[in-house]
Amino acid sequence: MIEGFGGLNLWVPLDKELVEKIQQLGAHNKQLKCIVQKNLKPGDVANGKASKKRPFDFCKCFKRLILLRFYYLGWDYQGFAAQEDSVDTIAEKPQNYNRCGRTDKGVSAFHQVISLDVRSKFPPEEQLLDENVAAELDYCAMLNRVLPEEIRCLAWMPMVNPSYSARFDCRSRTYRYFFPRGNLNISAMEEAARHMLGSHDFRNLCKMDVGNGVVNFVRSIEEICIRPSQADTTDDRSYDMMYLQLRGKAFLWHQVRCIMAVLLLVGQGKETPAIVQELLDVEKNPCKPQYSMASDVPLNLYECQFNEKSGEPSDRKTDDKSDLREWIYKEDNLSRTISELQTLWTKHSVKTTMIREMLATLHGVFQENFGAARSISNQADSLTQGVRSKEYCPLLQRQRCESLENRIEHYSKKRRIEVSAKSIESNAARTDGSGPSTQTVGST
């Protein structure tokens, strides 16, 4: 129906492509409105009305650097970092801060940490006094009052060194990927995972972000293991929940999800544990086979550990004591957060229990009618994204992605990155995984 045509509402048959185009334009228009709203300052005209909100003058306040610890369930969000075309992110509007880890669309965090300057009730020389730390603004409670239920601030930490960074002074990041046991061969998955310990070139186990200047794909995994998380209430172990745990200083774009995708193939018996060694041998296999990543929903940033002293130079002298202090929790805030999380758990757990009861009944019906010889344990299959073919094609026989060297050349020609010829040669020649290359890369 077309409205407003000479004061009439007319029914007109519309072409399918035209309808899709109108919908696309509508979505784009909504994104533009979001960008405008984000960039409006107090006093600007929005929706034809002038804002009466007085601007907050941050310069008139005392400031202090803190670490802020919080969690979020990222299933319904577009990632942690702010994006130009969406406000549906964890960090909708970036401020003067550093984040410990950048999580992608759908990924959660149990232990995310940011460092940022906040206003304080006390002058800088008095901020670290015990009585003033205890009487400081309740940052977590202030934030939680305006955050959605899936995001909660848990604690804050006063900082001594003004150059301390949640990003650059983080010494390790631990990720967990939860999955059901199903019919997976856990022993084979563990054997495959052990090949990834230490420093390797993970270009075949990540999504290469060459366009943003990433040309070195050597990373070190300090720990990788598979552990049980929660046992099923019945004797059917296929419903047990497991998790893959990885710890390292830094990870590549989609590295954990690509690793999990390959481990699932090993667990399903479609690949042998040796496939990991083949993928890590970038001299033998310089181009990544095409395969789908594992789902984003089960992945979370589980824990972050920090250096005692900042690696950045400080503008003031400090003693040999640690730059870190104890996390400051408030009883009321923590108890309220636990209650809210219990409410969220109850909603999801009730649904899970109902489905589990239905499955138990249907399993019984299946066995009565078709015998108990064949069991159905495909719980983990849905974690692999993409279309499943009827006949499985081994990874090393699949079509390959473009090589790293070709991608570097492509973006260099477009002047997206600047890489010296010497660094490209050294990157191609280095296959022992001994450490980062000497490339000089500058994003433009």
Token pair 């003067």 is found at 96
CA distance 424 to 410: 13
State the Cα–Cα distance between residues 199 and 248, nearest whole angstrom.
10
Rounded Cα distance, 288 and 60, in Å = 54
Select which of 76, 104, 209, 296 is catalytic.
104
Pairing type for strands 108-120 and 299-306 reads: parallel
DSSP conformation class of 73: -
Give the number of other CB atoms < 10 A from CB of residue 24: 10
How many angstroms separate the CA atoms of 314 and 77, rounded?
36
Q: How far apart are CA 207 and CA 200, in angstroms?
A: 15
Work out the angle between the directed axes of helices 186-194 and 255-267 (0-180°, nearest 10): 140
Judge whether 408 and 210 are in contact, CB under 8 Å. Answer: yes
Strands (E) in 100-233, as ranges, are 108-120, 151-158, 170-180, 198-201, 218-230
3-state secondary structure of 285: coil
In 3D space, the residue among 215, 224, 282 whose CA is nearest the CA of residue 252 turns out to be 215
What CA–CA distance (Å, rounded) separates 30 from 216? 38
Q: What distance in Å separates the CA atoms of residue 108 and residue 243, rounded to the nearest whole number?
A: 14
Q: Which residues contact 109 (CB under 8 A, 6 or more apart)?
A: 70, 71, 72, 74, 80, 101, 103, 300, 301
- Two tokens, residue 164: 């301390």
In the annotation, is 319 catalytic?
Answer: no
406 three-class SS: helix
Catalytic residues: 104
